[in-house]
Amino acid sequence: MTDSSFMLEALELAKKGQFTVQNGVCVGCIISKDKEILGQGWYEYYGAPHAEIRAIESIKEKYKENFKEVLSGSTLTVTLEPCSTFGKTPPCLDEILKYNFKKVIIGALDPSQSSVEKLKSAGIEVLLEEVPNDLNKGFFNSLLHKRPYVRAKIAMSEDQKTSFIKNDQQWITCKESREDGQKYRALSDLILTGSGTIERDDPFLNVRDEEILKLKGFQQPARGIITSSKLETSLNFFSGQGKKYIFCKDQNIFKNFQKEEEVSILEIKNNDDNKIDLKELLKKIHSLKVNDILLESGPTLTTSFINQDLIDEFIIYIAPKMLSNTALSFFDGDQSKSPFNSKQFQLIEESKIKDDKKLIFKRI
Ligand SMILES: NC(=O)c1ccc[n+]([C@@H]2O[C@H](COP(=O)([O-])OP(=O)(O)OC[C@H]3O[C@@H](n4cnc5c(N)ncnc54)[C@H](OP(=O)(O)O)[C@@H]3O)[C@@H](O)[C@H]2O)c1
């Protein structure tokens, strides 16, 4: 095995935490010697021991009192620069420095940490081995751009309609597409919608995928509504586990929520159109340590987000039907900004789910 194939394996390990590390990062780690894997670990859920610590622990368990000998001269391959500061757990750097590693191979540098020079000063060879991957997009986006990564999930017809005019129909796409969409909720720190969707559909906006719910350490992502209208406390949005946010122009409207434990009411500045300023909203959400947002809104809010270039990725499910004048288009703004037309977006995935099409567009 080569060093880079260990990095690929470490990335596979990192992926195991993708639905459970909420507000944290996916990290995988492999410890090897003479091209043989001796131990491995990944960051399993928010607050759990870090990947490097779990990999070292796996060697302690396997080799008992000989573990120091085994670790001495070995290579630690980790997908993200080891932490050098105290977080929920002590710095991994301190633990790594105890065991005479020969080499540390890092998949991505972490601008919030400073381990590389300290490892080198300790005589450890440090290599950077970047393998393109999509893990931790929100984390890096937050660090570099001081705002969360925004995915929009939209179910539409062939003629790009997403919202029925009459309130007598609900689903556009098939059950399997809707189940696939659950995965993106679980990948996110916050599911965000507008008051129009809350009033019309009364959605739960939670994760209901049985396999994901069984994962150790899984927690429901937070949910947020952007609204200036009054809301009933009996809405499904407010039921079940998970933090709930009301992002509004005036907190006073929501006095009836002040005693609800898991509900936070946060005021956001208005823009020139007297609507909630979405850039200010994203700044506020960034301050809540949210890295990944899933936007699941109707045409009004989706249009505002697209008009202001605030969406980084579109997950689009298209059902093989035309809704014509029975429904509204997903986007009512300058059509050159639509992901279907904009040069700023690239179609990176196209697949079928039963008779539906699934498209993923990413900002380039
Ligand atoms: N097919 C899909 O993927 C999908 C997904 C979600 C929803 N939908 C459908 O969409 C329909 C609802 O759509 P909608 O357009 O009425 O609701 P929406 O886009 O979910 O919410 C719009 C509301 O958000 C609030 N808002 C606050 N700040 C805003 C801003 N800067 N820009 C825009 N809106 C802002 C406004 O309410 P305030 O006046 O209270 O501030 C506005 O009326 C429903 O029929 C639902 O079924 C479809």
151 and 49 within one domain = no
Atom of ligand 1 nearest to the CA of 172: 1
Residue 4 has pLDDT above 60, yes or no: no
Query: What's the CA-to-centroid distance between 95 and ligand 1, angstroms?
Result: 49
At which of 110, 135, 160 does a domain end?
135
Q: What is the pLDDT, as a whole number, of residue 260?
A: 67
Q: What is the pLDDT, as a whole number, of residue 2?
A: 55
Mean residue pLDDT across the chain: 94
Can you give the residue range of the structural domain that contains 322? 138-363
Tell me the backbone φ, ψ of residue 93, rounded to 5 degrees: -50, -50
179 and 115 within one domain = no
The token pair that represents 70 in the structure block: 């085994």
Q: How many domains does the chain have?
A: 2
For the chain, what percent of residues have pLDDT higher than 90?
86
Atom of ligand 1 nearest to the CA of 167: 45
292 and 174 within one domain = yes
147 and 104 within one domain = no
Name the more confident of 23 and 172.
172
Spatial contact of 305 and 192, defined as CB atoms under 8 Å apart:
no
Query: What's the CA-to-centroid distance between 195 and ligand 1, angstroms?
Result: 6
Query: What's the CA-to-centroid distance between 115 and ligand 1, angstroms?
Result: 45
Q: Which residues line ligand 1 (CB under 6 A)?
A: 154-155, 162-164, 172, 193-197, 200-201, 226-229, 275-276, 278, 296-301, 304
pLDDT tens-digit profile of 296-305? 999 999 999 9
Average the pLDDT over 131-145 and give the result.
Answer: 93
Q: Is 125 a catalytic residue?
A: no
256 and 124 within one domain = no
At which of 135, 152, 183 does a domain end?
135
